[in-house]
Structure 1
Amino acid sequence: MRQATLTTFRDLGVTPEIADALETEGIVTPFPIQEMALPLALSGQDLIGQARTGTGKTYAFGIAMLQSIGKPRKNRKKPRGLVVVPTRELATQVSEDLVTAAGKLGSRVLTVYGGRAYEPQIEALKAGVDVIVGTPGRLLDLVKQKHLDLSQVTSLVLDEADRMLDLGFLPDIERIFKLIPAERQTMLFSATMPGEIVALSRKYLNRPTHVRAEHESGEGETTPQVRQLVWRVHRMDKIEIVGRLLQAEGRGLTMVFCETKRACDMVSEQLDTRGFAVAAVHGDLGQGQREQALRAFRNGKIDVLVATDVAARGIDIDDVTHVVNYDCPTDDKTYVHRVGRTGRAGRTGIAVTFVEWEELTRWKMTNQMLGLEFGDPEETYSTSPHVYAELNIPQGTKGILPHANRSRAGLSAERIEDLGETGRVRGRGGRRRDEREEPRPARTPRQRRRTRGGRELAETAAVERPEVELVDAKTEEAPAIFSTDEIQSAATEQKRTRTRRGAATSAIEQALGEAPEAPVKSTRSRRTAAAAPAAVVEPADAPEAPVRSTRSRRSAAVTTTEREPIEQAAPVTEQPPVEQPVAEQPATQRPVRKRSAAERPAAERPVVERPAAERPVEERPAAAAAPVVQSVPEPSFLATPPPPVRKEPERIVPPSPFAVIFQSPDLATDDDDIAPSAATERKQQRRQARGGGGGGNRRRAG
C-alpha cells in the first residue's frame, strides 16, 4: 500500500471553500484512498477506486465532482453531477457528506429514492439542482415522467457498484448510461471488485485508472482495527448469547445482522422483551420507519439496531463498537461489509459471528477466501467461560437487562417524519401502538328487529294469534266452535308448545271436549290435518251409524291407537284427576280422540239402521257398562304403510352361559323353484333358436 506523503486537502489541490468546510467538520487529514484518487479525479480522468468500507470513498469522488461543477448559477437548472447508489440509506449518507463538503460553495444537492412522494422532488428539480444522488428506479421514473433531464451531466459516479449488480440493477444502470452524454467523467467505487464490475468498466469507462488502497494479501480484507470472533453455536442459544453480549463493559452502539426479514423481526422482538432499546431495519418497513430507526440509533435513543444486509451499506456511524452476525454471511463480500460497520475512521471494534453446525461448509469457504484463521470455530454456549472472558462480560450476567440499567428513551421517543410515502406503512404489526391514530369509537349496540312474515314483531304482538294456523280461503272447512270458558282455560296454561303449522293437540283436544256440535266435512286439507282436529263430542244417546271417514296424508300418520290417555297428554294441573272408569268420567275428562264413523252427527249418517245385536261392541248403548273399545278406521291409500314386522329368530339357550347361538329361520319352501342362471338362460335361448320352440319343449319334457 502506498504511504501518504501529503497531510492536508489543500495540498491535494482542493479549493479553499471545500477545504474550509471540511476543516469546520473536523476533517483535515485525508485517508489513503482520498490521497490517491483525488489528484486523478480532479484532472478529469475516469477512475476505478477500491478500498475497504469506512475509509472515506465518498469524499474521494464527492470533492472532485463538486469542484468540477463549481458554484451554482441561476440560469442553470439541469443537474451536472449524478451519483447512483443501490440503497436508500446509502443515498442519504452520500447526500449528507456532499452537503457537508459544499457548505461554502452553496451547491444544490437533491436526494431522490423510492418510498417518498414525487411532488417535493419534482418541485426541487424545477427550482434547479447541481448534483443528484438517487437510486436507479426513482431516477428512471423521473426521466420517464419528463421531470428529470440528464443531457447536461458531466460527472457520473457509481458508488457500491458490486452491490447494485447483486440487487439486479445492471439493466437500469445501462439505461442510465445511454441517457448521459458520451463526453463525461465516470468514476466507479466499490469495496470489492468482482468480474462483472471489471466488464462494466471496460464497456462504459474511457481508459480508467484503477486505484486500490488495499493490502497485498487479497481484496476485500477486513479492517485491521476490528477484533473478530467466530463461534459455533446452537440456534436456540443465540439470543441468550446476544443478551449477555449486550451487557459487556464498554459496549457502545451495536448492530445485529440477520439473513431474512422475519428473523430480523423475531430477534428485535425478543430483545425488546428482554429490556433492550432496540429497533429493526429491513425492506418491508416503510421509509419513514426506517429513517426513524436510523435517527434514533444515531441520537442514542436506542443502542441496538437489528437489520438485514440492506443496512450493511451506507450506515456511517462512528460510535458502533460491536457487530454481531446473528446469521452466518452468505459470502466473503457480505462478511466484509457487515464487519466494516465497526472500526470506522480509525476506531476499534469487535465483530462476533455465529456459525451453526449446518453452516460450517459455507463458512469454511468464506474463511478461505478472506484468509482468516477461523476454519474450525470453537463450540460455544451462553454459559461457556470464554464468552465472559473475551467479551469482558461480568460474571453472573444473564440474558435479561436489569430494570436499573434500562435508561434509553427507546424508539417511541423518536418522531416519525411525514415523508409523503407513496405506499402504506408496512411491516409485521403495522405501526407501533403509540403511533397509531386515535382509537376507534365504541360500538353502538345493534338495534335488532324481530320480524315475522315480513312485519316487525311489535306490530303483531298486540294481536292474539290463533292456536291453529289460518287455512287458505280455497280450502273448505267448518271452523270449530269454542266457548268462552274453554278459551280462557287454554290461555291460562303454564306451558304452551307451538309448532310451525299449529299448536299442540293436547291443549286443544281438552278445550274441545264439550264443545257444541258443528257440521264438519270429512275431507280435510293436507295442512289442516296436521293441526288439532276440530272434533265435537256428541251426546251418548244420539243414533249412530258407521260412516267411512276420509283422512289426508298427515292426519293418517297419527292413528287413534297411537294416542296416549288424557292423563299423559294433558298439561299438569295442581290436583291430579281421580281415576274413574271411562264410562263414569265426565265428558271433559274422557279421552279425546278423532270422531269415528259412529260419532258423526245424525244429519250425516245414513238412514239404514241395524239391530242392536248386529252392532259392534263400541256402538252399543252405554247402559251395558261394557268397557269402551276404540275402533280403528280402515287405512286410507294415502296413509303411510306401517313398517314390516320383523320376526325375531328363535333363540337357543346354549349349555354354556358364555356362548350365544342364534338360529336363522328357514325362508325356503318346498314350492320354490331354483332360479336359472344367466348362462343357463342363454343356452336355452340358443337351443330354441336352432331347433325351434317345439323341439326344445319336447326335449325338456322328455
Structure 2
Amino acid sequence: MTTFRELGILPETAEALEAVGITSPFPIQEQTLPVALSGSDVIGQAKTGTGKTLGFGLPLLERVTVPADVEAGRAEPEKLTDTPQALVVVPTRELCQQVTNDLQTAGKVRNVRVLAIYGGRAYEPQVEALKKGVDVVVGTPGRLLDLAGQKKLDLKHVRALVLDEADEMLDLGFLPDVEKIINMLPAKRQTMLFSATMPGAVIGLARRYMSQPTHIRATSPDDEGATVANITQRVYRAHSMDKPEMVSRILQADGRGLAMIFCRTKRTAADIAEQLERRGFASGAVHGDLGQGAREQALRAFRNGKVDVLVCTDVAARGIDVEGVTHVINYQSPEDEKTYLHRIGRTGRAGASGTAITLVDWDDIPRWQLINKALDLGFNDPVETYSTSPHLYEELGIPAGTKGVLPRAERTRAGLGAEEIEDLGETGGRGGRGGRSGRREAEEERPKRTRTPRQRRRTRNGAPVDGEAAAPATEAAEPAESTDAVAEDKPRTPRRRRRTRAGASGEAVAAPTEQAEAAVATAEGAAPAEAEAAEAKPRRRRTRKAAEAEVAVDTAEGTETAETAEAKPRRRRTRKVAEAAVVAEAVPEQAEPEAKPRRRTRKAVEAEAAVDTAEAAEAKPRRRTRKAAEAPVAAAAPEAAEAEAKPRRRRTRTAKPAAESAED
C-alpha cells in the first residue's frame, strides 16, 4: 500500500498526518499529488467523502515557504514574506472552517499560518491576523473582495490558487466575484479546481484561467456509479403531515449514530428542529436565518456529541465532514441530482458505511423521477409509506412498538444548550440566533433612555386638581410687596406658558388665579363675602351676563362703583386681570407706563376719543349685541357712564383697565 511519504511530500507534513492517524492516501490523493507537486494545473473530480481536501491541500502547503524551510536549507530567506502565498476560495462558511482545520492539521509541524476569512464575523480580528502575517488564506468570495478592496488583503504574492466546490460557486452566482479575485492574482501561478461534479461551466472557467490543466477523475475499482457503494439508499413516498412522526421513529432505529436531516427551506428546518426537541431528541439547526455564532454553536455541539440530530438546509450539504454520521434523511426532495449526491455524501465517508433515506411527497414525484433517471438509482416509483407501515420497521431496523417520542431513559445527550455560543462580533444586524430572537436580544442590549419623562398635571379653570391645596389665608394676607417671595415658595402652575401678555412687569406671579384674587381683596380691606364674590364672578359666563353688570352699575353707590368697574374686566380676563391688579397695587406708578406702550392699539385710540365726546359714549354699547337696549340708562348717569366707559375701552387688554380702576 502506498504511503504519503512515498508520494514525495515533506517529512514534516507526513509526520503531522501520521499524528492524527492518516498514513495511506485515497485514490484522488494518490493520483493528484504527483501532478500537483510538479506545478501543473489540475482539475480534480471525485465522489464525496474521498479526500479531495488533502488532494489539493498537500500540494498547496508544499509551495509555501516558511521559516522551517529556511532552517532545513530547502529555501532562501529572501522568499519569506508575511503576505499570503496561497489562496483557497470556497462557497460556504462551514466549508471554509473545515478546510482551514484540515490545512492547519497538515501544516502543524512546519508551523504554517492558515487564516479563515468569511462573513458573519467582525473585521478587526481578521485584519489584525493579516497584519501579523499569513501564509495561506481560506475564504469566501464576498469577504475576500471586501478586504482586498480596503487594501487590507494583498494578493500580489499568491503562488497557488484553489477553487473548492467550483460548480457550487457557479450555481450560487459567484462567478463575477471569482473572476475579480483571479484578476488580482499574479499571472504566473498554479491553479487547481476540485469538485464532485464538473458541469460545462466549470470546464469553460478552466479554459479561461488555467494553463494546460490535467483533468483527474478518480474512482475506486469496486465503486461504480454516481453514488458511493457503501451507502444504503431508501426512498419512500410519504405524506407531509406524517413526516415528523416517520422521522421520529427512524431516529430510534438500531445502530443509529449521528443523523443529519436536510430540508429545502429555512422555515421547515427551524420547525422540524423545534418539533424534534419537543419529542425528546437532542437537535440543533443550521440555516441561513441563524447568526454565524449560532451556526457554529450547532456544528460544534454536533461534532462533540452533545447533539445527535442536525437539521439543516443545503448550506451544510457541501464539504461537512463529521465522523460518526450513520443516517442522512432527505426530509424534502432535493432540487437536482447534484444536491442529492452532496447530501447523502455526508455519510459513508472515508470508507465507512451509512444509510440515506429520502421522503418524497406526492407533489415532488416528478422532480424525484428526474433525479432518479439522471443517477440511475432504480427508485422511479417510491413505495407509499406511513409511520405505521411494517416494511419501514423491517428495512430500517426500527424496534417493534416504537412511538414518535423518545423514551426518557434514552435522553442522555446534553443538548444544544450545553455548548456555549461564541461572540463573533457579527455584522449585518442579526443577533446571536438571528430572526426574531436575535432582534429581541439586540433590543435588550440597547441602553435605556435617560431623559426624564414629561410631568403632566391636571388642571381645571387654571387651578390644579391633583390634590394641591390653595395658599393659606395667612400668606394671602401679607402685603403685596411679598408677592415675589410667595411666588418662589409656591410651585409653578403647569399652564404658565399662557402668561405671555400679562407679564408686562418683570415680576413673576406664579400663584393660581384664586390666590391672586384673594390677595387683592385682602389688601384693599374688602369683606370676605366680597372676596368670595370676586372669586365667583370670573367663573361665570362673561358674554351672557353683561346686561346684569350694567344694571349693577346704575344701582351701585360711589364706593361700590369703583369695585364693580374693577370686577367687570375680571369677567373677561379672569387670570390676567388679577395678576395685573396685584402688580398695580404693588407698584402703581410702574404698572401703567409699562402696560401703555404695549396695549395702545387702534381700538384703544378710538376708546380714548370716545371719552372726550358724548357721542362716543353712546356709540360704544352698539358693539354689544345684548346691551343696546340699556344704553339710555347708562347715558342718564354721567358719572356711571364715565366709570363704565373707562374699562370698556380697554376690554381687549388686561393690565391697563385694572390700573385705572385702582386709581379711581
Structure 2 length normalisation: TM-score? 0.68
Conserved? CA contact 1:233–1:355, under 8 Å: yes
| Aligned counterpart for 2:108 among listed residues 103, 114, 122 | 103
| Aligned counterpart for 1:470 among listed residues 528, 540, 559 | 540
CA shift at 1:78, angstroms? 1.0
Distance 1:193 1:438, change over 3 A: closer
Name the residue aligned to 2:398.
Answer: 393
C-alpha separation between the residues in 2 aligned to 1:424 and 1:11?
Answer: 51
CA shift at 1:455, angstroms? 5.3
The C-alpha deviation readout for 1:262-304, integer Å capped at 9, x for no partner, is: 1111111111111111111111211111101100110111111
Conserved? CA contact 1:192–1:219, under 8 Å: no
Name which of structure 1's ranges 361-370 and 74-83 shifts more when overlaid on structure 2: 74-83
Report the AA paired with residue 546 of structure 2. E
CA shift at 1:467, angstroms? 11
C-alpha separation between the residues in 2 aligned to 1:198 and 1:168?
Answer: 16
CA shift at 1:471, angstroms? 2.0
Q: Secondary structure at the match of 2:548?
A: coil
| Aligned counterpart for 1:263 among listed residues 260, 268, 276 | 268
CA shift at 1:475, angstroms? 5.1
Name the residue aligned to 1:424.
Answer: 429
| Aligned counterpart for 1:33 among listed residues 18, 28, 33 | 28
1:193-272 correspondence to structure 2 within 5 Å? 193-214=198-219, 221-272=226-277
Report the AA paired with residue 57 of structure 2. G
Q: Secondary structure at the match of 2:404?
A: coil
Do residues 57 (structure 1) and 52 (structure 2) align?
Answer: yes
Name the residue aligned to 1:10.
Answer: 5
Distance 1:454 1:188, change over 3 A: farther
Name the residue aligned to 2:351.
Answer: 346
Name the residue aligned to 1:185.
Answer: 190
Distance 1:127 1:457, change over 3 A: same
Q: Secondary structure at the match of 2:546?
A: coil
| Aligned counterpart for 1:131 among listed residues 136, 157, 173 | 136
Name the residue aligned to 1:69.
Answer: 64
Name the residue aligned to 1:296.
Answer: 301
The C-alpha deviation readout for 1:49-99, integer Å capped at 9, x for no partner, is: 000111110101110111121324785111110000000000000000000
The C-alpha deviation readout for 1:496-549, integer Å capped at 9, x for no partner, is: xxxxxxxxxxxxxxxxxxxxxxxxxxxxxxx99xxxxxxxxxxxxxxxxxxxxx
Do residues 169 (structure 1) and 174 (structure 2) align?
Answer: yes
Q: Secondary structure at the match of 1:77?
A: coil
CA shift at 1:480, angstroms? 14
Do residues 44 (structure 1) and 49 (structure 2) align?
Answer: no
Distance 1:151 1:440, change over 3 A: closer
Name the residue aligned to 2:85.
Answer: 80
Aligned residues: 489
Distance 1:436 1:25, change over 3 A: farther
CA shift at 1:346, angstroms? 0.9
Hey, which of these two has a bigger chunk of helix by percent?
2
Name which of structure 1's ranges 220-229 and 254-263 shifts more when overlaid on structure 2: 220-229
| Aligned counterpart for 1:451 among listed residues 455, 459, 464 | 459
CA shift at 1:113, angstroms? 0.5
CA shift at 1:345, angstroms? 1.0
> RMSD of the TM alignment (CA)?
3.6
Report the AA paired with residue 360 of structure 2. V
Q: Secondary structure at the match of 1:11?
A: coil
CA shift at 1:470, angstroms? 2.2
Conserved? CA contact 1:83–1:157, under 8 Å: yes
Do residues 361 (structure 1) and 366 (structure 2) align?
Answer: yes
Do residues 112 (structure 1) and 114 (structure 2) align?
Answer: no
Q: Secondary structure at the match of 1:235?
A: coil
CA shift at 1:453, angstroms? 5.0
1:539-578 correspondence to structure 2 within 5 Å? none
CA shift at 1:218, angstroms? 11
CA shift at 1:404, angstroms? 2.2
Q: Secondary structure at the match of 1:236?
A: coil
Unaligned ranges ≥5, structure 2: 71-76, 471-513, 515-531, 552-570, 573-625, 627-632, 634-664
The C-alpha deviation readout for 1:167-193, integer Å capped at 9, x for no partner, is: 100001111111111111100000001
C-alpha separation between the residues in 2 aligned to 1:332 and 1:297?
Answer: 26
CA shift at 1:120, angstroms? 0.9
Larger-gyration structure (1/2): 1
Q: Secondary structure at the match of 1:203?
A: helix
C-alpha separation between the residues in 2 aligned to 1:270 and 1:446?
Answer: 48
C-alpha separation between the residues in 2 aligned to 1:168 and 1:395?
Answer: 48
Name the residue aligned to 2:156.
Answer: 151
C-alpha separation between the residues in 2 aligned to 1:92 and 1:336?
Answer: 21
Report the AA paired with residue 458 of structure 1. D
Report the AA paired with residue 268 of structure 1. A
Q: Secondary structure at the match of 1:187?
A: strand
Name the residue aligned to 2:318.
Answer: 313
C-alpha separation between the residues in 2 aligned to 1:407 and 1:440?
Answer: 40
CA shift at 1:458, angstroms? 3.0
Unaligned ranges ≥5, structure 1: 1-5, 482-526, 529-554, 556-602, 604-702
CA shift at 1:158, angstroms? 0.3
Conserved? CA contact 2:7–2:33, under 8 Å: yes
Distance 1:322 1:446, change over 3 A: farther
C-alpha separation between the residues in 2 aligned to 1:217 and 1:391?
Answer: 25
Seq. identity, %: 60
| Aligned counterpart for 1:285 among listed residues 286, 290, 295 | 290
